[in-house]
């Protein structure tokens, strides 16, 4: 019988426990799961593609049916090349839904045979995003329990080496690389509100 292959695309800058929760769930449902990091030179990321790939490889080593890869261009094209049946995406809150629905339907338009499957993380991770993790670290807070220890260490090193590394963290892209901030009505708004509620240091010039 043909194996079910799914792709879990994202920025993973950095990988969080929410991502790993989803990867674990996906690994139980699909025969093979490809964690695909979006390669986008235009997008400013905190960790290089190589760094993210290495982190994800280490973090997913315990699941034999999970593989890490990178891609650029259209997700549907990449999925076709990988002979994937499905795209896995995470839905944290209602605010994710509108944007994700739009992407899923657009991808269906581009390739009717490719299904998008949504999974929900454990409630503990339903408020967690890479963006907030970056904000917390910038403001000197602890992200223990939100990201794997390995990621926590690398975040700390990055901030120590360059205190401004996290200034204006950009997490504004969709699965196909388009800027999300151009569209007003999506989850980014909620996330940005939330991150502003944590503090404003990362948006200020010359923060202490
Ligand atoms: N805490 C979390 N719990 C569950 N899913 C998550 C979590 N954080 C991110 N995701 C999901 O993982 C996928 C990749 O997210 P992300 O790395 O932010 O890349 P993207 O740039 O595509 O949003 C998305 O489907 C997102 O909804
Ligand atoms: Mg995101």
Six token digits for residue 208: 């202490």
Is 143 in the same domain as 121?
no
**Which of 33-37, 168-172, 174-178, 190-194: highest mean pLDDT?**
33-37
Residue nearest to atom 14 of ligand 1 (CA): 10
142 given a catalytic annotation: no
How many Å separate Cα 101 from the centre of its chain? Answer: 17
Pocket of ligand 1 (CB under 6 A): 10-12, 16, 18-19, 22, 89-90, 92, 96, 121, 125, 128-130, 173, 175
Last residue of one domain, picked from the residues 91, 125, 159? 125
66 occurs within a structural domain: yes
pLDDT tens per residue, range 107-157? 999 999 999 999 999 999 999 999 999 999 989 999 999 999 999 999 999
**Sorting pLDDT into bands at 50, 70 and 90, what band is 166?**
low
With respect to residue 208, please indicate whether it lies within any of the assigned structural domains. Answer: no
Q: Which of 9, 16, 22 to mutate to test the pocket of ligand 1 (most atoms within 8 A of CB)?
A: 22
Q: What's the structural domain count of the chain?
A: 2
Clarify whether residues 71 and 168 are in a common domain: no
Domain boundary among 69, 90, 125: 125
Catalytic residue among 130, 131, 187, 202: 130
| pLDDT at site 2 | 85
By CB neighbour count within 10 A (0-12 exposed, 13-18 middle, 19+ buried), where does 185 fall? exposed
My answer on whether 103 and 117 are in the same domain is yes
Same-domain pairing of 164 and 183: yes
DSSP state of 173: B
CATH number of domain containing 30: 3.40.50.620
Whole-number Å distance between alpha carbons of 84 and 175:
16
- Cα separation of 26 and 34, whole Å? 10
pLDDT tens digits along 16-44: 999 999 999 999 999 999 999 999 877 78
Q: How far is CA 22 from CA 33, 111, 117, 136, in A?
A: 11, 24, 11, 22
Bridging pattern class, strands 115-119 and 5-10: unpaired
- Domain residues for the domain of 112 are 5-125
Residues 110 and 140 grouped into a single domain: no
Tell whether the model's pLDDT for residue 3 goes beyond 60: yes
Q: How far is the CA of 121 from the centre of ligand 1 (A)?
A: 10
Question: In 3-state terms, what secondary structure has residue 69?
Answer: strand
Residue 188 a catalytic site member: no
């Amino acid at each position: 019988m043909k194996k079910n292959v799914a792709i879990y695309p994202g920025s993973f800058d950095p990988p969080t426990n929410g991502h790993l929760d989803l990867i674990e769930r996906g690994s139980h449902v699909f025969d093979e799961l490809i964690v695909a990091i979006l390669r986008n030179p235009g997008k400013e990321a905190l960790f290089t593609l190589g760094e993210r790939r290495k982190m994800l490889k280490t973090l997913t080593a315990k699941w034999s049916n999970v593989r890490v890869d990178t891609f650029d261009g259209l997700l549907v094209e990449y999925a076709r090349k990988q002979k994937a049946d499905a795209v896995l995406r995470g839905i944290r809150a209602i605010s994710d839904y509108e944007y994700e629905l739009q992407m899923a339907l657009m991808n269906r338009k581009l390739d009717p045979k490719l299904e998008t499957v949504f999974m929900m993380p454990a409630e503990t991770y339903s408020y967690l995003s890479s963006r907030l993790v970056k904000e917390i670290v910038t403001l000197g807070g602890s992200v223990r329990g939100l990201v794997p220890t390995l990621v926590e260490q690398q975040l700390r090193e990055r901030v120590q080496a360059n205190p401004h590394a996290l200034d204006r963290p950009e997490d504004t892209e969709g699965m196909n690389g388009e800027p999300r901030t151009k569209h007003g009505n999506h989850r980014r708004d909620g996330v940005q509100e939330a991150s502003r509620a944590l503090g404003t240091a990362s948006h200020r010039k010359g923060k202490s």
